[in-house]
Every structure is written in C-alpha cells, then in structure tokens.
A and B are shown apart, each in its own frame.
Chain A
Amino acid sequence: MSGADLKQMKTTKKAPDVTASAVDEGHRTVPMPFGHALIKLAETRPEIVGMSADLAKYTDIHIFAERFPDRFYQMGMSEQLMATAAGGLAKEGFVPFATTYATFASRRCYDFMSQAVAEQDANVKLIGGLPGLTTGYGPSHQATDDIAIFRAMPNMTVIDPCDAYEIEQMVPAIADYPGPVYTRILRGNVAKVLDEYDYRFELGRSALLRGGRNVLIVSTGFMTMRALDTAKELQADGIDVAVLHVPTIKPLDETGILREVRRTGRLVVTAENHSIIGGLGEAVASLIGRSGMGVELRQIALPDRFLDAGTLGVLQHRYGISRAAMCESIKRWL
C-alpha cells in the first residue's frame, strides 16, 4: 500500500485487533517464537521456570506450561505478586521468566520491580506482550511508556526485539545474563526478517543492517522491520537509507551509535514503537547532546498522549509509525 493510498484509508467498522502481532505484508512468519525458544532452552536448564498473571495464552508461554507443567506458576491476575514472587524464586537460585502484557508489567508492577527485583539485582526476566501500539484495545493495553519506565530503573536491562529471529536468540542470551531484564516480545505469528541480514543478537550491542549515504535510521523493536522496508521503498526514489538496529535500549550501545551518527551529511532519524518521551529517541538525543556533535535528530515515535482505540492499521498510520508514514516523514525532512 502506498502512502497516498493510506492517506485516503478509511476508518473501518472492523472490530479492533486486540491481540494482533505486527506483521507487515510480504514477510514470512514464525509461530510463537518466544514460547518455543523458552522450551528449547529449558530442556537443558532446570533452573528456568515460567510464570504468568493470567496471560499465558496471550504471551506464548502457555506452550512452556504444557511442556513443563511443574515448572510453571500460574499467579492469577496478580501482577505485583508475580513480580515480587519472581524475585523470591530468583533468590533461591531459579531464573523466572514472568509474562504479562507490557502495560501491566510496567505500570502495575513498578514499585515491585524496583524494590523486589532491580534493587536486589534479582535474576528475573520480565516479559511484556503487546508492546507499544500493537493492539487497538485502547490505552489500558497500549504500552506506550514501558521503556521509559524501565529505563529509569537502576540495574534494569531493557530490550525491544525486532522479530522472531531475534527473539529466538535473545531468550538464551538473557538467561545467561545474571541480572534483571525487561523485554518486550511479539506474540502469535511473528515476522521473520533479520535472518536475511546475517544478524546475530548480542546483549547491549547495536547492529548496522544496511549502509546508506542520505539517511541513518536508528531503530528498535519491529520498527527496524519497517525501517528496512522503508529503506527499500525510498531506494526507488534515489534515497539511500542506512539502518542501525538497537535492540538493547539499556544499556545503550553508545559507541556503536556514535560511530554511525558521526558520519556527517546524513539525516539522522530514530524510529520506535513507543512514546516520543523516554524511549530510544530521547536516549539517542541525550547521547548526541553529550557528545557535542551538534547533529540534528528527528524522531519517529508515538505522540505523548493516550492513543485512540480502533484497528491497528489505521492507528499505526494515524500516529506515524506505519511504513507509509515513515516514508512520508523522511521525505519531508530531507
């Protein structure tokens, strides 16, 4: 669908995609990559346990629960309990992977993650489904501020993976890291993109997926998929776009980002499925500010407001994170 088509796109009467994954047309998909990766890892790692707060089915950990019923704790709709009990399990030597939606993981669990997990440096992996704008359900389920929340928490590692290929690699990587981690995940049928780019996930490292002379997109989460598609689309207009993928938002790969930003003469754009406040864009902006480089930065991000309910395609375009909206914004800024 072209930008012009989308501009004309009518709002629909279709019911909102409540638990949709964000897969753009033309991409291959993999079912339940998080759940399968966790099962594979747990086969050889008895210390790994699963938990969920009544959202196992909607965070893909239900297949872990089916495979290892005695290693899965259903905590009911008690997110604060789940976060804190995960801290307790970690104290006894286990590595809990605890899942809920990203809104509840961040807003509901904040003090509990801060004091029972992060402050105590507990080896807990908190998994947030439905990141950013991946549901049309409305603000209660749209986690537009989770990264800002966890970035501000000392000791936390914060990750927004792009696709199934990355999630599969990230699960064992965060299990090997002995400290608290918050990661978003994509659930259901998840796009597989990064295998085409000879990509390897490394905790805390960014990766240049393609070079380009005119624009540098620094992106995270599934917006890297969109950035790559945007780069392909703009190529036809003679615009050469580089894409730097930053899955780990904290700790930020400052060296890797500055190395690319330092190459002058390019429009620098950050792209994320998160509020314009407190996410990757602001992290990169403050990094550039501290570096003294004086580079202008543009942000593709969700606005600082509670978003509408509706259908995902309409909403993602409305708030500027669709591929078409990205293309339009970049052309306007050039």
Chain B
Amino acid sequence: MVQEAKLHNSQLAERAGRVRRNALVMAETQGQGYIAQALGVADVLSVAYFHAMQVRPEQPEWEERDRFLLSVGHYGIAHYAVPAEAGYFPEDELTTYAADDSRLPMSGMTSYTPGAEMSGGSIGLGLPMAVGMSMGLKRKGSKSFVYILMGDGELAEGPTWEAAISAANYGLGNIIAPVDFNQVQADGPSMKVMNTEPVVDKFEAFGFYVQRVDGNDLPSLVAAFDNAREHPEPKPRIIICDTKMGCGVDFLEGREKSHFICLGDDDWKRAYAALGERSKA
C-alpha cells in the first residue's frame, strides 16, 4: 500500500492474522476449500500488499500501482482475504465466496473480481503474463513492479521456464516473483510429484536474482521483498518462500492430505480459536 509509515512487524502480524481469519470465513461459507494454502501464504501476501507494493485500494486502476498477478488461481481464497483487509471491497462480501453470481469465485476472474489483474487458474500462465506486463511497463517508462505469486507445483509447467528465459533475456528487473513453496500439490508432496529442486540453483542459472526465506517469518519476508525492490542488477527477482500449509491452525499444520480440505462444525470452531478469533458465521 502507499505507506504513510512502514508498518511495524507487530502490525503486519495483526494484519496477517486478519487475513487468515478472512480466509477461514470464506472456507466456512463453503464448508471446504484450499484453506491450508491460504493460511500458509497469508504472511507472504500480507508483506506483499501491506509492506512492499504501491497500491491504492480506493483506486484499483491507478496507473502507477504495482501489479499483482495471482497465477495459482485456486489461491483466490487467500488473495481475496488480502484486498478485503486492504479495503478493495467490503469484508461482508467474503461470505459470497464461490457462491453463484459472486464476484469472488474459487479462481479470480479479471473481468469481474475486484483487484484481480489476471484470470489465473490455468497453472503456468502467471510468469508469461508477467513478462508481457513487465515489457509493457518498461515501454511506458513506468517504475511499477509486477508481483507474481506462483506455487511450487507450478515450477513443473513448461511455460514458467519459457518465461524465465525471456525475463532474463530482456532484463526484466521489474518482476518480483514470490513462490509459495508449501511442498504440497494436488497429487501429493510436491517434491515427490515432481522434484523441481534445486530451485535456487536453477533460477540463478536462468539469470534471476534469487532469495530463499522462511515464508512464515515476517521480518525475513520484509527483508526479502525490500532486497528484491532494491537489487541493482537488471535481473528478474524470485523469492522462494518456504511456507507451512495451515500455518497458525495447529491441527491443520501437520495434516498429510491438505490440498483441499473439508471440515466439520467443531473443526471450524477449533480453527478460529487457534487464530484467537471467533466464527462470524
């Protein structure tokens, strides 16, 4: 956001907590969903929106804004929680998540979802889209950055690497790509489904400025996003964020099958309680 003053880590933590609460509200509405990812990535998104990015919630089309692309469309549940907290749309609207005629479908659509810069969902579109927008911003002489959130499973998509080659070839230093490395994808543990490691070496070899951080540690994330903005070389920037699925709700953290979770009534109460919140439903 456009910061009058940078938020303290404690304030970021409060906002990340509310983002988690918002995600639970959406998931509870449907009784199921990508809850663990939302809880895991809440800190990354909070630092992106409330610390790093220049945006104006009251003016979503502000030309000088930093762009945010959600490549992993099913993270809508995590992403909506952030613009709701940032003020892009009323928090009450979160309870329409995934309902008929809602502006907040499971995977956000640029044509009608507030704050959605791209229609994600088809995994692997994000980094190529970021390349085009980055080229466009540079053509216009813009100082804006393109933030693009990918998942770890997405690193197996070919177009991600087509885009990586070209981002380095064109020196697209205005791309900042956090990757939610939560180690889980649809068919199981990410590195068992397809081992993409060593990712740091790979992206360095592709010409990126690479950082790898604990994606649930706010000071580390703040430093990494600051470094990414300030890095002097004209290289695309990637931040591998090692996150914990279900972070903040203990009984979800260790859960083996956590890509898409269904919870019973008592579980929702326990989840809110773990966050120090109460169910709004």
Q: Which residues of A contact B (CB under 8 A)?
A: 49, 73, 75-76, 78, 80-81, 83-94, 96, 111-112, 114-116, 119-121
Hey, which chain B residues are within 8 Å of A88, CB to CB?
128-136
Cα A84 to Cα B125 with chains together (Å): 7
Hey, which chain A residues are within 8 Å of B165, CB to CB?
76, 78
- Cβ of B158 and Cβ of A80 under 8 Å apart? yes
Within 8 A of A (CB), among B159-182: 159, 162-163, 165-166, 169-170
In the complex, the number of residue pairs spanning A and B with C-beta atoms less than 8 Å apart equals 98
Q: Give the one of A83, A112, A115 with max B CB within 10 A.
A: A115
CB closest residue in chain A, given B144: A92
- Cβ of A81 and Cβ of B137 under 8 Å apart? no
Hey, which chain B residues are within 8 Å of A81, CB to CB?
128, 131, 159, 162-163, 166
- Cβ of B128 and Cβ of A93 under 8 Å apart? no
Other 7 A-B pairs with CB < 8 A, given A84-B129, A85-B135, A91-B133? A73-B135, A76-B165, A84-B159, A91-B136, A92-B139, A94-B136, A116-B118
Cα A92 to Cα B135 with chains together (Å): 9
Hey, which chain B residues are within 8 Å of A94, CB to CB?
136, 139
Query: Does B110 sit within 8 A of A, measured CB to CB?
Result: yes
CB closest residue in chain B, given A119: B119
Cα A93 to Cα B170 with chains together (Å): 19
Measured CB to CB, the closest approach of chain B to A50, in angstroms, equals: 12
Cα A90 to Cα B166 with chains together (Å): 18
Hey, which chain B residues are within 8 Å of A90, CB to CB?
132
- Cβ of A78 and Cβ of B166 under 8 Å apart? yes
- Cβ of A76 and Cβ of B125 under 8 Å apart? no
Instruction: Mark B222-264 against chain A: 1 for CB-CB distance below 8 A, else 0.
Output: 0000000000000000000000000000000000000000000
Cα A90 to Cα B158 with chains together (Å): 23
- Cβ of B125 and Cβ of A112 under 8 Å apart? yes
CB closest residue in chain B, given A86: B132
- Cβ of B111 and Cβ of A75 under 8 Å apart? no
Q: Give the one of A49, A89, A93, A112 with max B CB within 10 A.
A: A89
Given A92-B139, A115-B121, A115-B125: A87 touches B111 (CB 8 Å cut-off): no
Cα A75 to Cα B131 with chains together (Å): 11
- Cβ of A121 and Cβ of B135 under 8 Å apart? no
Cα A76 to Cα B162 with chains together (Å): 9
Instruction: Mark B116-159 against chain A: 1 for CB-CB distance below 8 A, else 0.
Output: 01110110110011111111110110000000000000000011
Closest CB pairs A-B (n = 3) = A88-B132, A92-B136, A85-B132
Measured CB to CB, the closest approach of chain A to B146, in angstroms, equals: 8
- Cβ of A85 and Cβ of B125 under 8 Å apart? no
Hey, which chain A residues are within 8 Å of B119, CB to CB?
115-116, 119-120
Measured CB to CB, the closest approach of chain B to A74, in angstroms, equals: 9
CB closest residue in chain B, given A73: B135
Cα A150 to Cα B237 with chains together (Å): 35
- Cβ of A85 and Cβ of B140 under 8 Å apart? no
Cα A73 to Cα B135 with chains together (Å): 9
- Cβ of B136 and Cβ of A80 under 8 Å apart? no
Hey, which chain B residues are within 8 Å of A75, CB to CB?
166
CB closest residue in chain B, given A80: B159
Given A78-B162, A80-B158: A85 touches B137 (CB 8 Å cut-off): no
Cα A73 to Cα B124 with chains together (Å): 21
